[in-house]
Amino acid sequence: MAKKQKIAFVCTDCGAEYPRWGGQCTACGEWNVIKEVRLGSDVKSSARKSGYTGSRSEVKLLSDVDLAQAERIPTGLVEFDRVLGGGIVLGSVVLIGGAPGAGKSTILLQVIASVAQKGFSVLYVSGEESLQQIAERAHRLKLDASAIKMLAETSVQSICDTVDSEKPTLLIIDSIQVMHTVDSDTAPGSVSQVRESASYLTQYAKSHNVSIFMVGHVTKDQSLAGPMTLSHIVDAQVILSSTEDARFRVLRSDKNRFGSVGELGFFSMGSTGLKEVKNPSAMFLSRSDTPSSGSVVTVIWEGTRPLLVEIQALVTESQYGNPRRLAVGLDSNRLAMLLAVLTRHAGIFTANDEIYVNVVGGIKVTETASDLAILVSVVSSLKNKVIPHDVVFFGEIGLNGEIRPVANGFARLNEAAKHGFKKAVIPKANAPKVAINGLTISAVSTVSEALDAFGYL
């Protein structure tokens, strides 16, 4: 008599498991996200196929563990290597997601073409496109495809059998949503198939020291589709997205066991594929020649480098009883807190005004170093006074109206000076001990002091 297959119910957003189906996930609060998952019936067979022998692991002292760094393969794309932490780690599994047309397959094809030229064996597995379509793309991108091995397959077991014979160093799976494993009888793309396929490939990568890149689909809110456990399985998770200017792409690291989380890589899309943007700050500073009120430049820190971005604010009289507060690219709760500080410690009342704040370029600001620039932009629009183009602001604002220091202040100032800024308004604790050529430093300790320097009080 056949053994009954086990069934679980998993939330596709947060990964919480339940013994039975429910309409709402009690862990994350979302509705209609709990899906049925059929667990593999032959676990031992699956483990043997993925390289697991069942032998007991040896217990070691933590002090005896080898601290040698994992071997990395440089791809030749500096921005791509930056996001990964310095290159592709052998035996690692990377999940790359993005909206349709973002350039996921394009950048991976460029990567394996560059790696193949360095003498490494590569294999590109396509489950969505035909080999002719990929060959046409490689020809359009003018890539050397003589050393790129291709395979059209969706069965995970068949792919691993091919990898056993070809022994590639780098394996591309495009995409994980169309892969299937014989251990699950559900349709490809279902929660159980995606989870089982990703787990199978990850175990294979670790046991055979093969680096794997999995292409993943994204939902309408730009989060990776599929079970949340998919993010926990892989070593790194990166998202390729477009900016407001359709020519540019941003590669962001959401998870990385071998590098910095939040690292950004910038590319421009052209007829020959994605090209690196050497100076990303200039990409976000395409300002008009005529200065306008409400426009302020700040220096944020993304990953391991500073980035200059423009913050725009619009303050207008409310036509209704409930004024709106809209923030695009930053936390709206943070904006509400800063407006309260502005009222209490600077005496500038904005409760009856509608306030709109936008980070130009489509980038999201998550750190607090932009607090001072946000308040200055709001006051600039409210007073209809223009901030000079050559002034930059950064600093965190506390609830008592004090301006707190931020990390990497000297590097931020050097980035501003490199782009021609003449004056910087910064926290007093971030004042450099060594003068920066061409940059005048105005160190302030309170919000009122910063606004008074421009005649706003």
DSSP letter string, 102-132: SSHHHHHHHHHHHHHHTT--EEEEESSS-HH
Output the furthest CA–CA distance in the chain (Å, rounded): 85
Q: What are phi and psi of 325, to 5 degrees?
A: -130, 110
Q: Is 326 helix (H, G, I), strand (E, B) or coil?
A: strand
Per-residue pLDDT reduced to its tens digit, 32-83? 888 877 655 444 444 444 444 445 668 889 888 776 667 899 998 999 999 9
d(CA 328, CA 332): 8
Q: What is the pLDDT of residue 379?
A: 95
At residue 1, the pLDDT reads 43
Q: Is the pLDDT of residue 238 over 90?
A: yes
Q: Where are the alpha helices (DSSP H) in 59-213?
A: 78-84, 104-117, 131-140, 156-166, 191-208
CB 407 within 8 A of CB 427: no
What was the pLDDT predicted at 57?
67
Average pLDDT (83-105) is: 92
Tokens matching residue 453: 């320097």
Q: Which residue has the tokens 């730009």?
A: 222
- What mean pLDDT, rounded, does the chain reach? 87
User: What is the reported pLDDT for 67?
Assistant: 67
How far is Cα 103 from Cα 215, in angstroms, rounded to an integer? 11
pLDDT, mean of residues 372-398: 94
38/183 Cα distance (integer angstroms): 9
pLDDT at 54: 45
Q: What is the mean pLDDT of residues 417-430?
A: 94
> Which of these, 116, 90, 303, 52, lies nearest to 213 by C-alpha position?
90
Return d(Cα 212, Cα 225) in angstroms, integer.
19
d(CA 124, CA 415): 39
CATH number of 72-278: 3.40.50.300
- Answer yes or no: is pLDDT of 5 > 80: no
Helix pair 131-140, 104-117: axis angle to 10 deg: 70
Q: What percent of the chain has pLDDT above 90?
A: 60
The encoded tokens of residue 155 equal 């069965």
Q: Does the predicted TM-score (pTM) go above 0.85?
A: no
pLDDT at 4 over 60: no
Could you tell me how far CA 183 lies from the centroid of its own chain? Answer: 32
What is residue 282's predicted lDDT score, i.e. its pLDDT? 81
**pLDDT confidence of residue 313:** 96
Distance of CA 108 to the CA centre of its chain: 16
**CA–CA gap between residue 95 and residue 33 (Å, rounded):** 22
The phi, psi pair for 430, rounded to 5°, reads -95, 5
pLDDT given at position 280: 86
Q: Over the stretch 126-151, which tens digit does the pLDDT of each residue have?
A: 998 999 999 999 999 999 999 999 99
pLDDT band at 7 (very low <50, low <70, confident <90, very high): confident
Q: How far apart are CA 206 and CA 136, in angstroms?
A: 33
* Fold observed for domain 283-452: Ribosomal Protein S5; domain 2 (3.30.230)
